Amino acid sequence: MSLNWKELELILSELPLEGSYIQKITEHGVASFTFSMFSRTEKAWLLYIEVSSPYARICRTDHIRKKDRNMQRFTQYMNAHVVGRKVKSVRQYPFDRAVKLELVSGEDTIWMHIRLYSGPGANIIITDSDGMIMELLYRRPQRHEEKGERLIIENRSDEGPRHFTVRDYSTPLFNEHIDRTSSASAAGERMDEARSRLEEKRDKEISALKERLLRQEKRKEETEGADEIRRMADLLSGEIWKARKGMPSITVDDWEGNKSITISLDPALSPNENLERLYQRYRKDKRTYELAVEEIGRIRQEISDTEERYRDLLENASAEKIIRETEKPRDRKKDEDRKPGLWLSVRGFDIIVGRNARENDEILRHYTRGSDLWLHTRDYAGGYVIVKAQKGKTVPLPVLLDAASLAIHYSKAKKSGKADLYYTEVKYLRRAKDGKTGLVLPTQERNLSVTLDERRIKELLG
């Protein structure tokens, strides 16, 4: 809990504030700061100030707290106008949880008013010697507490109907007791909050994975009849001579079941076109089914790994690690700057180059569409090169050669200066079962032989 006025009085009596110099101010949060102090008698010591919280306090501390990554405007002002000053005097507001420090630098004097409230009155206000507000932690227009306003101080004449006492403590100094117990209580609350946020984060991640799993299971269910489509295509192939263009269906003998079955046809297509259409549907459904099965296994493993990772965090991780795990994600633009691989714009087309197995895998999983073009050197290990598709446009030969040159440059074929490559659309790639990270097997690929042009590479890479 926060200090009462009696406890603040005891705290101040124990502090070597008068005569100390403020050497540095470190911000830990919106309303918590460590002042690095120096006095001739005590030498270097630390003063901790926290306002606007259930543990609002000012006390001497030995804890080295984590510095906030973002420095707010008020801290910048204190570093410019408070650091380097000497504490000339310390005065507590009568019967109140507030104190003001007289800070001098040569002939210049300013006052720092510290209110250890947990309500809307909590603040740190810096005024000149005439009481005009120069800067403050919280702007409160309703209280006329804004820069340029005169600070209104209401001094109490007594402590009111409630009589305050100093809580029991067993340490040599009350400062030490407050620093230890308040820090521990605040840390415990932060830990509880962090654990709760971590559990929410876990539940969201697992819920998202389960939704993906359901979608893949639906795809698997919708395409698990691929073999039956293949069987019908084979039956039609055996009696294709019976079919005629314009027929809506055809009845053929099912030699396995010793019966006849009817196969629907597109009257607008020729018999051979209907046959090819069935085989295409078979190949498409079979590939979708295999990919769904593979993805289902991967997602189930990812769910298991995620549950295990969070279980380990909640049971074994330190408070600092749990808090780091629950921090807000980085700025999206900064995340985009850290996309995997090398991203280039070439002749109006976007090209992505994976430079290792991890980048190849991440690019294929998260940054490609089925119509994008994939290139890779044949018989040489190397990076994948992706040419992003554009609606209604085919990839022109110069762009294809640029992409091929990059594929050779980022492969083990670079030394030989030339290589055979194959390329196909991303939708025709199939992941190798139990293969290494990023390993894929192309289908419907086309071949390309390219001699590496160093001048072209220099132009591409700047």
Residue 181 lies in a domain: no
How does DSSP classify residue 140?
B
In a shared domain, residues 16 and 139: yes
Residue 11 lies in a domain: yes
Q: Which residues pair with 345 in a beta bridge?
A: 350
135/451 Cα distance (integer angstroms): 68
Q: How many separate domains does the chain show?
A: 3
Residue 168 lies in a domain: no
In a shared domain, residues 239 and 262: yes
Residue 167 lies in a domain: no
> Roughly how many angstroms between the first and final C-alpha of the chain, as a whole number?
61
In a shared domain, residues 200 and 315: yes
In a shared domain, residues 414 and 430: yes
Structure tokens at 100: 């003001």
> How would DSSP label each residue in 103-146?
EEETTEEEEEEEE--SSTT-EEEEEETTSBEEEESS-BGGGTBS
In a shared domain, residues 336 and 269: no
Q: What is the CATH number of the domain that holds 32?
A: 2.30.310.10
Q: What is the CATH number of the domain that holds 222?
A: 1.10.287
In a shared domain, residues 33 and 149: yes
Last residue of a domain, one of 160, 179, 206: 160
In a shared domain, residues 259 and 196: yes
- pTM of the shown model: 0.48
Alpha carbon 202 to chain centroid distance? 14
Q: What is the pLDDT along the chain (462 residues), one digit of tens a residue?
A: 689 999 999 999 999 999 999 999 999 988 899 999 999 988 999 999 999 888 889 999 998 888 887 888 999 999 999 999 999 999 999 999 999 999 999 999 999 999 998 778 899 999 999 999 999 999 988 888 999 999 998 888 898 888 899 999 999 999 999 988 887 776 666 677 778 888 888 899 999 999 999 999 999 999 998 998 998 999 999 889 989 999 999 999 887 767 889 999 999 999 999 999 999 999 999 999 998 999 999 899 999 999 998 888 888 877 677 777 776 654 545 545 568 889 998 888 899 999 888 898 899 988 999 999 999 999 888 899 999 999 888 899 989 999 999 999 999 988 888 899 999 999 999 887 777 777 888 899 999 999 988 888 888 886
Can you point out the beta strands (E) in 244-348? 249-254, 259-264, 342-346
What is the domain range of residue 398?
332-461
Residue 170 lies in a domain: no
Residue 13 lies in a domain: yes
Other C-beta atoms closer than 10 Å to the C-beta of 451 total 11
Residue 175 lies in a domain: no
In a shared domain, residues 12 and 129: yes
